[in-house]
Amino acid sequence: MSNQLTRRDFAIRTAGFGLAGFNLALGLAPARLAEAQQASRSETSPAVTDPYSVDPYSLVDPELLPVLKQFPAFELSVEMVRQFRQMPGMPPLPAPAPQPVERRIPGPPGAPEVRLWVVDPAPLEKGKPLLLHMHGGGFMMTDPNLMPRLQEIATDCHCIVVSVDYRLAPETRYPGSLEDNYAALKWVHAHAAELGIDRSRIAVGGESAGGGHAASLAIHARDRNKEDVPICFQLLIYPQLDDRTGSSHPAPPAIGNFLWTASANRLAWSSLLGVPAGSSKVLAAAVPARVASVAGLPPAWVGVGSIDLFVEEDMEYARRLVHAGVGTELLVARGAFHGFDVFVPGAEVSKQFSASWKSALRKAFASGKADIAEKPKASL
């Protein structure tokens, strides 16, 4: 039997370490982290109460339940964030899986360089599609499963994957990470020939906070269309889209009980925004769900679990896209909590979920092309 650490085992050990051992401060910008913690505690609303509520575990898919029950309840804290950042990520899958290559590109004006991870499944092939990927981690952390995830996408969807190591909150607040992601988008467009890509087939996507970043990037690219960096597709995997979830929009009792809770969401958004999540101080442009119009955005796939904290905001965002005439596919996985497909990848609900978004991405690359025709100049 192989003793190689699987993604599932690594995720479980990572979460278990976090729940038991996040008690040490690392001295990483403690003042700003403390500010974010304080902001997340203010201007919030109590949870919805329901006399007919059921045991949350009874709503979990039976195949997911044994793994879920390994995790005790916990509250995300700044101490957890500090300790998590020191943990090593899972190593890349060995060859013949395509290997990640580090690149550094110019950052936004006045900002540091941006590190990218590039995974190319066919270096000699030209005209390939590309997924510009943003990792998850609640805006404050990286994804410990990042490298195998990038390799899997590149292999299964036969596309180049470029993942952005954007600056993290709360040390960098909005719009710092967005500007990093936009710098990466402009770079892949400008270096299409070097990368061997078809610049009309560039998608953006990510998981959780990365899905939120991808949605923000698509909005930002639309609003700065004079720079002509079109996007053909949005891949939004249980995206974090609305700072009001769990604060001014209380979570119903049936959702958000596992792994990512309302209090974690408040801390994450307050860290990114620098003001209390859900408050009147939040800039609408900083939050995809608050943006006035989603018209003109690329087609999208949106997927989320039915008991994920993000299920309502994700369904609402998909509804807005549909109403705006944006081609949209929505998948709500019954009995699935946040990150379920990473923790229990062999469950039927996880396999169906992963198959759906991979199929959608392949289909977008095969049939959808962004409009890169020259736009008419406005008359003066």
**Per residue in 164-194, is it b (16+ CB within 10 Å) or e — as a string?**
bbbbbbbebbbbbbbbbbbbbbbbbbeebee
Distance of CA 41 to the CA centre of its chain: 23
Task: Say which residues have a Cβ less than 8 Å from residue 104's Cβ, sequence separation at least 6.
Answer: 113, 114, 115, 116
Distance CA 30, CA 259 (A): 24
Which two structure tokens, joined as six digits, stand for 86? 């020191």
Contact 242, 313 (CB under 8 A): yes
Catalytic residue among 40, 163, 177, 208: 208
198 has catalytic annotation:
no
248 has catalytic annotation:
no
Contact 17, 10 (CB under 8 A): no
180 has catalytic annotation:
no
Catalytic residue among 198, 249, 338, 350: 338
Distance CA 256, CA 252 (A): 8
Catalytic residue among 308, 314, 341, 350: 308
Total residues found in the chain within this entry: 380
Distance CA 181, CA 184 (A): 5
Active-site positions read: 208, 308, 338
